[in-house]
Structure 1
Amino acid sequence: MDVASLQQCAGRTAAAPPHPLDPLSSPEVAAAAAACRAHAAAAAPRLPPLRFNTITLQEPPKADLLRFTNGRGPRPPRRAFCILQTPPIFGVIEATIDLSHFHAAGAAAAAVVSWVAIDGNDMGGQPLATPDDCLEAERIARASPRVQAVLAERGVSMDQVACDPWAIHAGKWKGRMMQVFTYLKLGPDDNEYARPLDVVPVVDLNTGQVVDIEAYPEAPKNIPTAGGNYHRDLVEQPFREAPKPLYVVQPEGPSFKVDGWRVEWQQWDLRLGFNGREGLVLYDVGYTDPQEGGRRRPVVFRASIVEMAVPYADPSSPYNRKCAFDAGDYGLGFAANSLKLGCDCLGVVQYFDAVVNNAQGEPVVIPSAVCLHEEDAGLLWKHVDYRTGYSEDRRARRLVISFIMTAVNYEYCFYWYLHQDGTISHEIKLTGILSTSLLMPGEGDKSRYGTMVAEGVNAAAHQHIFSARLDMAVDDEDGGRGLVVSELNAVRHPSHPLTNPAGNAFTESETDLITVHAARRQSSAADARVWRVKNPARPHPFTRKPVAYHLYTPGGPVLLAAEDSVVARRGKFTTATLHVTPYKDGQL
């Protein structure tokens, strides 16, 4: 997109500058990329061509945003944050682009305000692997004569191979590395995970070379041949009989209202956002309370899923490196589906397009990436007067905000729910296909560290651990500055002839979590443990205790890998159910 086109796009929207939290538009992404290229050409003309990893909104500092939203300060500058690469140089450039005047003055007004080059040897990690990076890793592996020769030893030609690129979090290699798991794919719609191969090339994205190939010491004698297809034209068993049609109709339309990225529903209001790493973000969630004279009560300043870890249990090389941090490795938003291709929302649906970027710095629109709808949620409340037989009941409705992403073999479906009783909940549904491996030599006919899903095909045991970042603002106009988090546990009282003669007494204990170290907590169903996010400045009118939200977490273990494992070192969030830390700008 050239500068003239950008100015035309900007001119069409100049009348309404975006809200400071609105995601970058396509023209803004293109303008940020153009500003980076112009700056590089002027300041470092010998620099290799820029490869754009990420172009995203740089959210304003929290204090500035609060002053603006509360009517006490000016509109914060609108800026884009860019992560750039210059292969074959090992490192990144972090650039900040001011877009504050873009909507009024056009693309020429986009200006670089920060440009920091970071040597790859000084970084504790690497930028995420974008969809373009994953395709590049596959291209490098496919083009390698060495890889082709190893596959030929197994009687497999490259046109029969599917390649799954995975990030590498530890190993003997230095650089921007990816490992490529290979599978036999007998046709364009064949399910490759039914036929895993033992060949795993390791590629360097910066140099464009295969630096290593890992394979079993001897070529496997028997590559699995059984099909396991899901494509409707290839399934070997007929589909089950379909149920009768079920229709959800809303003849009067939905109960929600949408203005740009702002949503209102049943006393709730919030802003939606979207970026390449986290995908869907909720901002400034509030509830207008009729019992408080219609006062809007802040609930959440910002909420998103910021990371997830999927560590696999097989200790054999190369599978002991098999672990995905899907948000940091690939980007939940970069991998988001267009829900036009399939969505489980019924009734009246509002879709939101998302904009990310490709390696050339061009905007990439994901049509209908976010789905907004409301749905019946069963019984909300019911009571029957058993003396008279009189009954009252209320149906529940909930607002659903969702998106779905594909991480190679798996689909993750993320759902935020707002309920009429003031509850907020989050659900993640996992679907897709298991990532498989070929049995190692000497393992016999089964693996100790997985489940056999077909003859010779192992699905290694693994976990899915998610990190939800919740910046709460419970009834606090200052964005949650005055909140305190405490832990509640049920306490069983021993029998006592005076204080508990029947032995039935129990109470709860409450402990404020004051330090970061003390606030690394584990769930405990035996203690009915919950965490309370409370506002001491706002006492409840009846209990006189601080108003609060309770945080309930699902059961399940934290990380099962060893404490000194790579996963535990890189993903500290996996080692505890709850971490409470002070807010700090820039920690996203």
Structure 2
Amino acid sequence: MTAHPLDLVTEDELRAVKAALTTAGLLTETARIAFCGLEEPDKAAVLAHVPGAEVDRRFRVLLLDLPTGASHDVIVSASRSEIDRAVLLDPATTGQLPITDTEFELVEEIALASEEWCDALKRRGLDPATVRTVPLSAGAYDDCPPGDGRRIVRALGFQQLHDKDHPWAHPVDGVVAYVDLTARTVVEVVDHRDLPVPAESGNFDDPEVAGEPRSTLKPIEITQPEGPSFALDGNLLTWQNWSLRIGFNEREGLTLHQLAFDDRPIVYRASIAEMVVPYADPSPVRYWQNYFDAGEYMFARYTNSLELGCDCLGEITYVDAVIADDFGDPRTIRNAICIHEEDYGVLWKHSDMFAGSNETRRQRRLVVSFFTTIGNYDYGFYWYLYLDGTIQCEAKATGVVFTSAYPEEGHPYATQIAPGLGAPFHQHLFSARLDMTVDGTRNAVEEVDAVRVPMGPGNPYGNAFAERRTRLGHESDARRLADQGRARTWHVVNPEKVNRLGRPVGYALYPEGQPVLLADDASAIHDRAAFATKHLWVTAYDPDERYPAGDFVNQHPGGAGLPAWTAADRTVDGEDIVLWHTFGLTHFPRPEDWPVMPVDYAGFTLKPVGFFDRNPTLDVPRSASRHCHGG
């Protein structure tokens, strides 16, 4: 029995969804599920929920008929076994549904049946059977116009020399196939240039490549003899003064709900709502490489089952996640979410020369995370909660860089990472959706800059600098860029609640301020990934506004999501608001990133600013000396 509207999805619920879709004639033998996720109730309904009250669990399902491409957007109640809404979409105008696993599995078979594709490989002296065909989203360009309604992917080849060989080391560059997924045909092969296939092994798990394992690392043991300090009741997680609910869906992965400190609400819902990986190589066979891993691929489908001692270290609690496969059957991802505590160094410290005091307290954090593999890259998403009320999000990028051949004459848009092997420049840009409720649902945003004060009567020695606050009144004012030269932050304040000093309580968003989308303003990817052109967007809350590039990203020409919503220019001053924060990496690959990439990091921080009347960690006790060891 569901106890709360935001409880984790169960296998029985997905079976009920499948039964309702089948009875309604929507889930046929030729139909596949491109997405199935909990349709969360409106915020007001969740906040008003009373324990024990009846809960109607509804799911949003995107259905694709493989032979025709017919696409349906369906709302179905698992509680009532009823279809509440079924809309037949026009992909030529709405964009295509996400690419399904079934379609991915078909692409190599379709390519090998193409005489033109096989001839291109044979001209390079390659046996087509040894070439792995990697299907990639097509984007929206003149050669794949979204208005014609075809489901297109583009396929690049990578040679695999044996079953255990990592094919990313052997890109078959200069040729690409366009595959019509509905017609199951290769509609075009662009054979631009014959480049040598790099030969050096990329098998990082082979001792001949990696060398013998080093023997000098001594064990690090993390123990909590009395168990962890957190408690998990269903999906309700409590730790120190924190409480929150955890959720999961195949599009966003891990979601956090109703984050509160001492029962004071801070964030109603937090997630990574989209990410895009735009590449910089303008080659005729690569200019279209811009992947929306969430919106096009439903990247959390590929969430890893985490392993103790490898992915997580210490006193670990794992949570399984349940998603639907292409056929609507439940699939349980074992150990999808990892929860644990970490020591995080000194929390606060002071040795006072007058009072003779000498006090130190240690910081620790609660970690909630998951890892997913999408093609060549692996991404970890970590949410950290700290004793002092700080919230942090960190994305970890690792795996294998996407490769190309590296020509003898060099390449201005790629790094040579091994002999004859290149890695195109690219970005990883994430959009965090932060539905804020700082001490209530009526919030506002102030942009806070550090500014110089000119030397003059009020500043005769020129040493002064000041804080400038700018209230963001409407959505048009709230499309902002970070400015590290001004130490720019954005304070989410509650104008209706003040602290003991008479100031509005608030939380500040600290951006890392790395580059936003670097593609030209006139480019197709600029239109499709408009969310990534600003570090901050602020919108009025609307339960239907969930994804910053729109609901249907695949082959959409652009303009959906944040640009469309903010055109209404709604007020965001003292309203129920949502922050959308773009953060990420601009990656100029290094030889050290090959053959497997050490983790690179990106993220942001939310810190209390006047939310508390004083340091909220004064009651943290000293660490017991028995846990300290000296030489």
Structure 1-normalised TM-score? 0.88
Task: State the match for 1:99 in structure 2.
Answer: 78
Equivalence for 1:583: 541
Q: Partners in 2 of 1:554 and 1:488 — Cα distance?
A: 15
Confirm or deny: 8 A CA contact 2:453 2:465 kept in the other structure: yes
Counterpart amino acid of 2:312? C
Alignment partner of 2:241 out of 255, 260, 267: 267
Shift in Å at residue 254 of structure 1?
Answer: 0.3
Cα distance in 1, alignment partners of residues 113 and 269 from structure 2: 45
Of 89, 105, 111 in structure 2, the residue corresponding to residue 118 of structure 1 is 89
Aligned to 1:8: none
1:64 matched to 2:35? The reply is: no
Count residues with an aligned counterpart: 540
The correspondence for 2:497, drawn from 538, 549, 554, is: 538
Letter in 2 for 1:187: H
Secondary structure, in 3 states, of the residue corresponding to 1:340? coil
Aligned to 2:112: 142
Q: Please give the alpha-carbon distance, in whole angstroms, between the structure 1 residues aligned to 2:108 and 2:500.
A: 62
Say if 1:65 and 1:76, in contact at 8 Å, map to a contact too: no
Q: Secondary structure at the match of 1:68?
A: coil
CA distance in 1, matches of 2:439, 2:165: 54
Give the conservation status (yes or no) of the 8 Å contact 2:57–2:77.
Answer: yes
* 2:416 maps to 1:452: yes
> 1:248 pairs with 204, 209, 222, which one?
222
2:480 alignment partner AA: R
Query: C-alpha displacement at 1:386, in angstroms?
Result: 3.1
Higher relative CO (CA 8 A, sep ≥ 6), structure 1 or 2? 2
How far is 1:163 from its partner? 2.3
How many angstroms does 1:240 deviate by?
3.9
Paired AA for residue 587 in structure 1: E
Report whether the alignment pairs 1:511 with 2:496: no
For the residues of structure 1 that align with 2:128 and 2:7, how far apart are their CA atoms? 44
Picking from 13, 16, 25, the partner of 1:31 is: 16
Counterparts of 1:362 and 1:30, CA distance in 2? 7
For residue 449 of structure 1, report the CA deviation from its aligned partner. 0.5
Query: Shift of the alpha carbon at 1:75?
Result: 4.2
Opposite residue 52 of structure 1, the aligned amino acid is I
| Letter aligned with residue 193 of structure 1 | W
RMSD (Å) for aligned C-alpha atoms: 1.9
Change (3 A) 1:464 1:157: same
Residue aligned with 1:319, SS: coil
Runs of 5+ consecutive residues of structure 2 not aligned to the other structure? 547-631
Q: Deviations over 1:49-97 (max 9, x none)?
A: 321111211111222222215x7x9545210111001122234101111
Moved more, 174-183 or 275-284: 174-183
Structure 1 unaligned blocks of 5 or more:
1-15, 102-109, 289-295
Match for residue 213 of structure 1 among 166, 189, 201? 189
Within 5 Å, give how 1:392-411 maps onto structure 2.
392-411=359-378
Secondary structure (helix, strand or coil) at the match of 1:533 reads strand
State whether residues 29 and 56 of structure 1, in contact with CA within 8 Å, keep that contact through their aligned partners in structure 2: no
2:398 to 431, 456, 461: 431
Judge conservation of contact 2:246–2:255 (CA < 8 Å) in 1. yes
Picking from 268, 271, 278, the partner of 1:301 is 268
Distance 2:356 2:217 in 1: 36
Cα 1:342/1:567, change in 2 over 3 Å: farther
Matching residue's letter, 2:439: D
Match for 2:176: what amino acid? V
Give the CA deviation at 1:241. Answer: 4.1
Distance 1:209 1:192, change over 3 A: same
1:555 to 502, 505, 513: 513
Counterpart AA for 2:485: A
Q: Read off the aligned partner of 1:319 and give its amino acid letter.
A: R
- Residue 231 of structure 1 and its aligned partner are, at CA, apart by 1.4
Tell me the amino acid that sits aligned with residue 34 of structure 1.
A
Contact 1:64 1:76 in 2 (8 A): no
Tell me which amino acid in the other structure corresponds to 2:64: Q
Q: Matched residues in 1 for 2:192 and 2:205: separation?
A: 31
Question: Which residue of structure 2 aligns with residue 293 of structure 1?
Answer: none
Deviation at 1:308, TM superposition (A): 0.9
Alignment correspondent of 1:19: 4
User: What is the CA–CA distance in structure 1 between the aligned matches of 2:218 and 2:375, rounded to whole Å?
Assistant: 33
Task: Indicate conservation of the 8 Å contact 2:336/2:370, yes or no.
Answer: yes
1:166-565 correspondence to structure 2 within 5 Å: 166-171=136-141, 172-173=143-144, 174=148, 175-198=150-173, 199-217=175-193, 219-220=194-195, 222-235=196-209, 237-288=211-262, 296-340=263-307, 343-387=310-354, 390-439=357-406, 444-476=408-440, 480=441, 482-496=442-456, 498-542=457-501, 544-565=502-523
**How far is the alpha carbon of 1:389 from its aligned partner?**
5.5
